[in-house]
């Protein structure tokens, strides 16, 4: 029929694609059919109906009059927050433990080994619940709050920090944020032959000035009735989930770091040492930059795992997307199929974006062979 192999491959691929689409269509049709049999209707219109329930921890404003769509956004931001915090902490901790694992000091080396083996070999959910109750048990009740200088309170309900209330609708805060983000780019800018370099540090100073100018008042937390009111509360659920996610992942990352460092040819090490470099510069200037190339693909999958594991937060009452959307909203809106589809699509999107970023970074650091 089609003689030329290259064209035959093309035709084959198209037929396969059509088959996949037809299969998906059939599944959708069956879904609609089965839902209709049960007097249920498939659709996403419920996102616009009011939620009428409270979300205990939110980064953007939330009231019980907001709709399910905003509940999705609020819980998504909570998921992103704990994932981002987890990735940063897991990377730093993993890097440290991984380097410790290669130390010449017996104690340091074996401490790292014990840490890795005990963390890696116990279930993550158990660890998260352990951290949650460890945190809760360690902290005093609200009336016996630990007062931290600067108007901070710490108790079993969380860490209370002063709330900065901005005037002008937060315009200054946005400008300050832009200035901060622009700093590293400004550092690399060149005017003629001269780099901007340390002059870029003027930007964060400006940002601080903008923040100071935009601050209307600072609301300090204070003890009233049952609880501490005012200020922003960092709930212990966030801290426990953060600890559980980052400590667990850091054990795996430590092993990735160790194996990547060991994979750098020994000659590199020896050559650097023979040039008279001390141990730290050898590690940070010669070995690690080469090891990063080996690490990145494996790190990517660790990061993706961490993001997905954030759904375990439901066990410790952290209002992330799985708990709020695939729990409360699913139950209240009576839309099981739709909510699960949305949650899966959101995780797919987050993870595809994360892995796209890591692939871009991988290409940047990868060895360019000519």
Partner 1 sequence: MIRHFAKGFPCVAALAGLLGLASGGALAQNEVKSPTLDAVKKRGQLICGVDTGIPGFAFQDSAGKWQGLDVAYCRALAAAVLGDPEKVKYVGTTSKVRFSVLQSGEIDVLIRDSTHTLTRNTELGLAEPAVNFFTGESFMVRKALNVAHVKELNGATICVLTGTTLELNIADFGRANNIKINTLLFEKPEEAFAAAEAGRCDGYTDDGGSVAASRSAMKNPADWVILPELISREFLGSYTRQGDERWSILVKWVHYAMLEGEVLGITKANVDQIKGETKDPETRGFLGLEGNFGKFLGVDNDWCYKIIKSVGNYGENYEMYFGPNALALPRGWNELYTKGGLQAPLPWR
CA distances from 282 to 27, 191, 279 (A): 58, 33, 5
Rounded to 10 deg, the angle between the 288-309 and 68-100 helix axes is: 140
Cα angle, residue 309 at apex, residues 73 and 47 outer, rounded to 5°:
25
Give me the 159-198 binding string for partner 1, x by CB under 8 A, dash otherwise.
----------------------------------------
Q: What is the DSSP letter of 123?
A: -
Q: Are the C-beta atoms of residues 223 and 141 closer than 8 Å to each other?
A: no
Span interacting with partner 1, options 11-19, 37-45, 92-100, 170-178, rule CB under 8 A: 37-45
Q: What is the DSSP letter of 67?
A: B
Instruction: Choose among 296, 286, 297, 291: nearest CA to 261.
Output: 291
256-285 binders of partner 1 (CB under 8 A): none
Among 80, 113, 129, 164, contact with partner 1 (rule: CB under 8 A): 129
Nearer to partner 1 by Cβ, of 32 and 80: the residue is: 32
Among 85, 113, 152, 156, contact with partner 1 (rule: CB under 8 A): 156
Rounded Cα–Cα distance for residues 293 and 285 (Å): 14
Nearer to partner 1 by Cβ, of 141 and 265: the residue is: 141
What minimum distance in Å lies between the beta carbon of 323 and partner 1?
Answer: 6
Give me the 130-149 binding string for partner 1, x by CB under 8 A, dash otherwise.
--xx--xx---x--------
| CB crowding 118-143: b at 16 or more within 10 Å, else e | ebeeeebeebbbebbeebeeebeebe
Beta strands in 304-348 (DSSP E): none
Among 319, 321, 346, 347, contact with partner 1 (rule: CB under 8 A): 319
Q: Does 54 interact with partner 1 (rule: CB under 8 A)? A: yes
Among 53, 130, 174, 361, contact with partner 1 (rule: CB under 8 A): 53
Nearer to partner 1 by Cβ, of 255 and 338: the residue is: 338
Among 17, 64, 126, 201, contact with partner 1 (rule: CB under 8 A): 64
Span interacting with partner 1, options 1-9, 113-121, 256-264, 311-319, rule CB under 8 A: 311-319
Q: What is the DSSP letter of 140?
A: P
Q: Does 117 interact with partner 1 (rule: CB under 8 A)? A: no
335-354 binders of partner 1 (CB under 8 A): 336
């Amino acid at each position: 029929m089609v003689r030329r192999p290259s064209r035959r491959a093309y035709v084959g691929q198209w037929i396969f694609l059509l088959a996949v689409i037809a299969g998906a269509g059939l599944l959708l049709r069956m879904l609609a059919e089965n839902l209709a049999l049960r007097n249920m209707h498939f659709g996403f219109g419920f996102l616009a109906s009011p939620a009428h329930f409270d979300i205990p921890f939110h980064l953007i404003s939330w009231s019980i009059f907001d709709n399910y769509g905003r509940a999705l956004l609020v819980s998504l931001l909570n998921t992103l927050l704990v994932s981002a915090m987890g990735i940063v902490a897991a990377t730093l901790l993993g890097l440290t433990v991984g380097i410790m694992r290669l130390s010449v000091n017996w104690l340091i080396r074996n401490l790292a080994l014990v840490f890795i083996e005990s963390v890696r070999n116990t279930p993550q959910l158990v660890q998260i619940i352990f951290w949650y109750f460890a945190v809760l048990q360690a902290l005093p009740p609200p009336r016996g709050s630990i007062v931290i200088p600067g108007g901070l309170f710490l108790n079993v309900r969380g860490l209370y920090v002063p709330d900065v209330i901005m005037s002008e609708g937060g315009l200054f805060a946005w400008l300050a944020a832009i200035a901060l983000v622009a700093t590293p780019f400004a550092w690399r800018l060149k005017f003629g032959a001269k780099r901007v370099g340390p002059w870029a540090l003027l930007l964060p100073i400006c940002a601080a000035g903008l923040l100071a100018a935009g601050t209307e008042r600072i609301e300090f937390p204070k003890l009233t009735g049952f609880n501490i009111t005012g200020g922003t509360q960092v709930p212990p659920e966030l801290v426990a989930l953060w600890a559980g996610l980052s400590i667990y992942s850091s054990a795996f990352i430590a092993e990735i770091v160790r194996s990547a460092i060991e994979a750098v040819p020994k000659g590199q090490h020896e050559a650097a040492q023979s040039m008279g470099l001390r141990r730290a510069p050898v590690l940070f200037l010669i070995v690690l930059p080469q090891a990063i190339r080996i690490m990145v693909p494996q790190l990517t999958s660790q990061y993706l795992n961490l993001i997905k594991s954030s759904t375990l937060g439901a066990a410790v009452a952290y209002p992330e997307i799985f708990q709020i959307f695939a729990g409360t909203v699913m139950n209240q809106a009576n839309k099981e199929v739709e909510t699960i589809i949305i949650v899966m699509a959101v995780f797919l999107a987050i993870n595809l974006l994360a892995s796209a970023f890591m692939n871009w970074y991988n290409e940047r650091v990868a060895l360019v062979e000519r």
